[in-house]
Chains A and B, each alone.
Chain A
């Protein structure tokens, strides 16, 4: 098993643990909140909202795992390409007088459509991963807010100005 496969396996396991833990926490929250605070059918802590959130959380963590895997692959592809070009140009790079000349040799060797495509793939994977992380972060904040509403005496003051 390669290092990448090991990392993927570990990452997948960690994601599963995280999802299970979040689902357990939310399920615990759902029980005492039912119909206690007088909110509407989709108000804070209602079973409907908790159920929706559970679905969103599972989807968000699955997406986070998938985007992380794609990002690792895209980074690996860029690294592999650069390494191959360095090996191909090793004679020129060894003969280069200094770092600047070596940098220019490498820049020219990497000035190809294939390299640009790999960089673009990597950038796209980075953005997808960032978006997936932001979605998990958003859901964590929503859960935190939901807890405020369901905690005894913890409902937010409606007249409070947060700005």
Chain B
């Protein structure tokens, strides 16, 4: 493989990683904000709950809606894209490592 082609792949991989990271942060923030808003909305109910388990059940009930499921799905997708971009960078690191390793004598003969 040509150097220039590898350099192009490296540049592209890091660009994708940065974009994926931004998307993940955005999805993460949207989900956290939604959960916090719902917690505040039902604060009175949560305060009246007898224990942690009951409070969690109230919260789960309040979060059982399409909006929340969509935000969760968005976050999951962003997470997968980020993992994929990280793996691509790791792959290129490995390729460069292989290229810079000395060729063993048994392989060159």
Indicate if A137 sits at the interface (CB-CB under 8 A). yes
With A104-B47, A130-B18, A137-B14 in contact, do A145 and B39 touch (Cβ < 8 Å)?
A: no
User: Would you give the shortest CB distance from A3 to chain B, in whole angstroms?
Assistant: 28
Do the beta carbons of A127 and B39 come within 8 Å of each other?
no
Do the beta carbons of B21 and A127 come within 8 Å of each other?
yes
Do the beta carbons of B1 and A145 come within 8 Å of each other?
no
Q: How many residues of A contact B (CB 8 A)?
A: 34
CB-nearest residue of chain A relative to B103?
A153
A43 contact from B3, B22, B89, B98, Cβ within 8 A: B3
Q: How many residues of B contact A (CB 8 A)?
A: 31
A141 contact from B1, B3, B10, B25, Cβ within 8 A: B10
Indicate if B95 sits at the interface (CB-CB under 8 A). yes
A107 contact from B7, B40, B52, Cβ within 8 A: B40
Interface string of A91-107 (1 = CB under 8 A from B): 00000000011001001
User: Would you give the shortest CB distance from A39 to chain B, in whole angstroms?
Assistant: 8
Interface string of A114-134 (1 = CB under 8 A from B): 000001000100110011001
User: Would you give the shortest CB distance from A32 to chain B, in whole angstroms?
Assistant: 16
Q: Which residue of B40, B96, B98 has the most chain A CB atoms within 10 A of its CB atom?
A: B96
Complex-state Cα separation, A145 to B17, whole angstroms = 20
Complex-state Cα separation, A67 to B101, whole angstroms = 34
Complex-state Cα separation, A138 to B14, whole angstroms = 7
What are some 30 contacts across the A-B interface (CB < 8 A)? Answer: A44-B3, A100-B52, A104-B43, A104-B47, A107-B36, A107-B43, A123-B29, A127-B22, A130-B21, A131-B21, A134-B17, A134-B18, A135-B14, A137-B14, A138-B10, A141-B92, A141-B93, A144-B96, A145-B7, A145-B10, A145-B99, A145-B100, A146-B3, A148-B96, A154-B100, A158-B2, A160-B1, A161-B1, A162-B1, A162-B6
